[in-house]
Amino acid sequence: MSSPDFKKRVLTDEDLSLIASEVPALLDFPGVRPWNRSRLWAAVLDALIEARTKSERAAAQQALGAIQTLDSIDRLFVRHDR
């Protein structure tokens, strides 16, 4: 986190990559390291579509929940200078 003021926390893409790499549900997906939000979303959605068994569907749902959480963190705490 690059700001010492806790009210103005700012994360970087590298921080998100580190967080995502510690989530077991996301270990096998591209886009975790280096952080690539679009690539990760595409891979998770593809896993949901391709899931055939109950365990594959459950794993894909866990990955979806994890990426939704990371997406919220991205929107709230990552500075996007666009």
In the 3-class helix/strand/coil scheme, how is the chain assigned residue by residue?
A: CCCCCHHHCCECHHHHHHHHHCCHHHCCCCCCCCCCHHHHHHHHHHHHHHCCCHHHHHHHHHHHHHHHHHHHHHHHHECCCC
Q: What proportion of the chain, given as a percentage, has pLDDT over 70?
A: 85
The answer on pLDDT for 6 being more than 70 is no
Interacting residues of 77 by C-beta distance below 8 A, sequence separation 6+: 9, 10, 11
Q: Tell me if 52 is assigned to some domain.
A: yes
pLDDT value of residue 76: 84
| Domain count for the chain | 1
Residue 39 in domain: yes
- Let me know if residue 70 belongs to a domain: yes
Per-residue model confidence as pLDDT tens digits over 14-53: 999 999 999 999 998 999 999 899 999 999 999 999 999 9
Q: Is residue 1 part of a domain?
A: no
pTM for the full predicted model: 0.80
**Does any domain span residue 82?**
no
| Res 41: pLDDT | 94
Range of the domain at 60: 6-77
Residue 38 lies in a domain: yes
